[in-house]
Structure 1
Amino acid sequence: MPHSYIKRILDARVYDVARQTPIDEAALLSARLGNRVWLKREDLQPVFSFKLRGAYNKMYRLSEAQRSRGVVAASAGNHAQGLAMAAQRMGVRAVIVMPRTTPQIKVDAVRARGARVVLHGDAFDEASTYAKKLVAEQGMTYVHPFDDPDVIAGQGTVGMEIVRQHQAPLDALFVPVGGGGLLAGVAAFVHYVWPQTKIIGVEPADAACLKLALQRGRRDRLSEVGLFADGCAVAQIGKEPFRVIREIVDEVITVSTDEMCAAIKDIFEDTRGIAEPAGALALAGLKKYVEETGARNEELLAILSGANTNFDRLRYISERTEIGERREAIISVTIPEKPGSFRAFCSALGKRNITEFNYRYATDRFARVFVGLSVAPGGNDLQQVLNDLKREGYDAEDLTDNEMAKLHIRYMVGGRAPENMDPERIYRVEFPERPGALLKFLAALGQRWNISMFHYRNHGAAYGRILVGIQVPAGQKGAMREVLDGIGYPYWDESANPAYQLYLGNGAD
């Protein structure tokens, strides 16, 4: 029974290395969602993850003979760091098998704590198989990242702290799920003390092994596992965690990559901390719960489970954040290929903020533009945009949930100019990032020249940057410069830029 874990959790030995982390109110998010939102800050542990708790508790319970032979584990990173720190503290040899897809920051952190790292396979299960082979060959003790009662008890101290710190029962508690160790431990303790609190597991939609097990009534294996939330990239829920979870967890929510990215931004805005995707998983589920249930004035807590992510991943995360929040939409629109059509299209959008604009001349009849624009979340604002454009005679298609469009097409729109196209000049322009600034630029061009290429993407800076191709006959270059000078925005003529000549131009000046 899950209640058997209460004494295990109370007796768990974790505070030799782990610290009691705070629960912080997410004030901005609370105001936005109409609920009081709390974050359990496990990202503040010495290894920036809760995994230290379970790893150390397991190590502490080993016999001297087991410690003398060393320990081995398979991990996508956070369990590895926890075990490496525990082994270093106890003077025990540790070998960690990590998937080759593990972020480098986690690999380096494990090595820095004295453990030997072996990179094997592309996901946790392949690494786990190899780690167990080392156990058989070398007699080492395998420390499972989640399917072990001592590990589960160590993770359960997170729930024990939440009960002590919050004092009054929560309305709902949101816990990230990979193999299920954290959810099982936290749920066992919180359910025992606060039976009225809803306990909700949150999984990535592309790694939902717990949801699959609950639907089928048994543990089963996912054929494919998404790797974005690498800390939760597990194909099968743990046997022991599932035994506990199926009895006391109220619900499981799945969230998308975009929703995790949006939650990472929310955490940053409220705490100035940067969570890893798995670390923000529970908050993404909390937000989805509020949206789907209409919950108001409730006490809601999400466990921020980790902050181990490569810095260069932030570029991708930032790109997907607004879409995850449903504050940005991606649409494809067909417009006439004639001077003034860009301005007319922007006028049809009204005062909406354009976040992205990609276009390349293809024919002399029509053009297709790839457009990102800001929309109001939680309503039918996007549909209103599509209806307004249709009423103005435009053919528009929503690509907001089209993964290929978001991952690839947005960067591939374009190509070389047709050989029979009129000469074009290429200008790089900077303008203040405020509503109406882009329309001012297009209006100044008027209907005198045709735009043959356009690229713009909002990067959250004070100044926006566009690259524009304009068909300018040889005798009108001076007039073009006068117009650009009159607009007052800084600009550069890039027509001779080798990058343009190599990839976008047709060889003619």
Structure 2
Amino acid sequence: MPTDTAQNYLEKIQNSHVYDVAKVTPLDLQINLSKRIKNNVLLKREDMQPVFSFKIRGAYNKMASLSPEALAKGVIAASAGNHAQGVALSAQKLKCRAVIVMPTTTPQIKIDAVKSRGAEVVLFGDSYSDAYAHSLELEKKEGLTFVHPYDDPDVIAGQGTIAMEILKAHPEPIDAIFCCVGGGGLLAGIAAYIKAVRPEIKVIGVEAKDAEAMTLSLKKGERVALDQVGLFADGAAVKQVGEHTFALCQQYVDEMIIVDNDAICAAIKDVFEDTRSILEPAGGLAVAGLKAYAARENLQDKTLVAVASGANMNFDRLRFIAERAEIGEKREAVLAVTIPEKPGAFKSFCRLLGGRNITEFNYRYSDPQNAHIFVGVAVSDPSESAKLVSALQQKGLPTLDLSDNEVAKLHLRHLVGGHAPQAENEKVFRFEFPETPGALMKFLDTMGHDWNISLFHYRNHGADFGRVLVGMQVPPNELTEFSDFLSKLGYPYWDETENPAYKLFLG
């Protein structure tokens, strides 16, 4: 069992070599977030490192401590993410060979990023575990030195330099520092330094709820191996924490916080609004944990520091993050509402929503008596959601709050629809609504006719206009009035009634 103490690590951290390649990153005040949660929130900007992650610190500190003979033979690592880039850049700086073993499932963009630093990439297996096992075989076969992503004293000390910079940048009182946790190297290094120098400062680790290896290990008093981990925060998706990191966290970490993916998405948005930078999911973990802790403890006017650990974001995740951020911040209520299936009921329902911004609307005719509507509504906080649900129910409209329903948020919102053979004389049009309050009510008021709305789909995507698909049952003898309505409305529109996709799935 490792026996290193905070004092041992204090010396290691103070004598580290990280600044040959890493930079001292800013500790930035998050003005908007601080104002909203009524605390002084500081962000340690490790997303601004040359490889957009803190991992460069530990990797270089380990490699710079190797003997000339070991460097001459080269190093090897197993990683599909930020550690790979840290090792590759360090090898480039130290002019030594670097072999990075990555799973065959690694995105090409990450493979190219590692190769661009001059490292050799070996693709092996379908998972990190496969790549790790193969890297150990190559280490022995080729006489290379393995650079562990977290469970190595030199790596831990390299990450600990972040704590040293935080205290130099902010010598005034700090109430708590929050760190994301994967294998535990970042948390262990920061905790060891802080408890050696400023033990009154709380050090709190943050994990995703589907990758809580450190939380469970600390509760049990021994390292726990998870059967599987969620991959949304892939930079912190580790099944078992390290021996060194666990021992240090047992001694020096005050608490662990677990957050869900919606909270991570909300944190990424918070940082973007203050910095215009986009963190990767693991990079947003600390901010999400900070917010959860501040809310739980009802903190005000405290100084809280979060480490933004990385910004190697996969671009294709941005849509999911944007969609879930409002729910994570509890600023969107997702509701299922039942209204009478009769002309005018839809307009009456919209009036009950008042001036609230509708973020999404899904409806398809399916029953001659009742209409089931899937709607998203912008709210200021969860209490407003509860009031809205109560107000709708008092008007005789059965309402179910789906804001915490994963099936609804992930799938149903995209699947509301289907064929409606009873929707006779249906005309389907695609519109562009201006993204302004009242655009929907203008549509309904201008319609001024008892045509039954049989299909309605809308989702706010942050553009300056909303794309809306509407089905209306218009008898053949009223097509002239319908044409007049379209002209009077003034919104761009396209007739999709003969669209083959509509006929195949909705008609």
1:47 counterpart = 2:51: yes
1:300 counterpart = 2:300: no
Q: CA deviation at 1:416?
A: 2.4
Partner of 1:18: 22
Partner of 1:134: 138
Q: CA deviation at 1:331?
A: 1.3
Aligned to 2:19, the other structure's residue is in SS state coil
Aligned counterpart for 1:231 among listed residues 235, 253, 257: 235
Aligned to 1:314, the other structure's residue is in SS state helix
Aligned to 1:467, the other structure's residue is in SS state strand
Q: CA deviation at 1:147?
A: 0.2
Aligned to 1:132, the other structure's residue is in SS state helix
CA distance in 1, matches of 2:460, 2:452: 23
Deviates more, 1:442-451 or 1:210-219: 442-451
CA distance in 2, matches of 1:407, 1:103: 24
CA distance in 2, matches of 1:129, 1:160: 34
Q: Percent identity?
A: 56
**8 Å Cα contact 2:6-2:195 kept in structure 1:** no
Give the residue type in structure 1 aligned to 2:285. L
**8 Å Cα contact 1:105-1:309 kept in structure 2:** no
Aligned to 2:419, the other structure's residue is in SS state coil
Change (3 A) 1:65 1:181: same
CA distance in 2, matches of 1:245, 1:182: 10
Partner of 2:211: 207
Q: CA deviation at 1:69?
A: 2.6
Give the residue type in structure 1 aligned to 2:473. Q
Q: CA deviation at 1:446?
A: 4.1
Deviates more, 1:380-389 or 1:140-149: 380-389
Q: CA deviation at 1:107?
A: 2.6
Q: CA deviation at 1:157?
A: 0.7
1:284 counterpart = 2:288: yes
Partner of 1:77: 81
Aligned counterpart for 1:431 among listed residues 420, 433, 447: 433
Partner of 1:56: 60
Q: CA deviation at 1:15?
A: 0.9
**8 Å Cα contact 1:337-1:363 kept in structure 2:** yes
Aligned to 2:300, the other structure's residue is in SS state coil
TM-score, normalising length: structure 2: 0.96
Q: 1:37-69, CA deviations, whole angstroms, 9 ceiling, x for partnerless residues? A: 111011111100010010011111112232233
Matches within 5 A, 1:252-271: 252-271=256-275
Aligned counterpart for 2:464 among listed residues 427, 437, 462: 462
CA distance in 2, matches of 1:474, 1:447: 14
CA distance in 1, matches of 2:281, 2:23: 22
Aligned counterpart for 2:154 among listed residues 133, 150, 159: 150
CA distance in 2, matches of 1:274, 1:101: 24
Partner of 1:2: 6
Aligned to 1:401, the other structure's residue is in SS state coil
Aligned counterpart for 1:176 among listed residues 180, 188, 211: 180
Q: CA deviation at 1:323?
A: 0.4
Matches within 5 A, 1:382-461: 382-418=385-421, 420-446=422-448, 448-461=450-463
Q: CA deviation at 1:486?
A: 1.7
CA distance in 2, matches of 1:471, 1:321: 36
CA distance in 2, matches of 1:432, 1:19: 46
Aligned counterpart for 1:325 among listed residues 314, 329, 332: 329
1:109 counterpart = 2:138: no
Aligned to 1:278, the other structure's residue is in SS state helix
Q: CA deviation at 1:20?
A: 0.6
Matches within 5 A, 1:193-204: 193-204=197-208
TM-score, normalising length: structure 1: 0.96
Report how many residues are paired. Answer: 503
CA distance in 2, matches of 1:93, 1:151: 19
Q: 1:340-382, CA deviations, whole angstroms, 9 ceiling, x for partnerless residues? A: 12111112222221100011111222221111111222x4221
Partner of 1:244: 248
What RMSD, in angstroms, separates the aligned Cα atoms of the two structures? 1.5
Q: CA deviation at 1:101?
A: 5.2
Give the residue type in structure 2 aligned to 1:52. I
Aligned to 1:380, the other structure's residue is in SS state helix
Give the residue type in structure 2 aligned to 1:23. L
Aligned to 2:267, the other structure's residue is in SS state helix
Give the residue type in structure 2 aligned to 1:196. E
Q: 1:167-224, CA deviations, whole angstroms, 9 ceiling, x for partnerless residues? A: 1231111111110001111111112111111111111111111101011111011112
CA distance in 1, matches of 2:233, 2:28: 23
**8 Å Cα contact 1:357-1:455 kept in structure 2:** yes
Give the residue type in structure 2 aligned to 1:25. L
Give the residue type in structure 2 aligned to 1:4. N
CA distance in 2, matches of 1:488, 1:179: 57
Give the residue type in structure 2 aligned to 1:392. K
Change (3 A) 1:50 1:402: same
Aligned counterpart for 2:315 among listed residues 311, 314, 330: 311
CA distance in 2, matches of 1:64, 1:449: 82
CA distance in 2, matches of 1:122, 1:367: 46
Change (3 A) 1:117 1:405: farther
**8 Å Cα contact 2:423-2:454 kept in structure 1:** no
CA distance in 2, matches of 1:121, 1:280: 29
User: Please, which runs of 5 or more residues in structure 2 have no aligned partner?
Assistant: none
Q: 1:423-454, CA deviations, whole angstroms, 9 ceiling, x for partnerless residues? A: 21111112221222212212333451111111
Give the residue type in structure 2 aligned to 1:399. L
**8 Å Cα contact 2:280-2:311 kept in structure 1:** yes
CA distance in 1, matches of 2:164, 2:428: 62
Aligned to 1:290, the other structure's residue is in SS state helix
**8 Å Cα contact 1:340-1:446 kept in structure 2:** no
Q: CA deviation at 1:500?
A: 1.9
Aligned to 1:280, the other structure's residue is in SS state helix
Partner of 1:498: 500
Q: CA deviation at 1:125?
A: 3.3
CA distance in 2, matches of 1:121, 1:209: 23
**8 Å Cα contact 1:124-1:234 kept in structure 2:** no
**8 Å Cα contact 1:106-1:309 kept in structure 2:** no
Change (3 A) 1:360 1:283: same
User: Please, which runs of 5 or more residues in structure 1 have no aligned partner?
Assistant: none
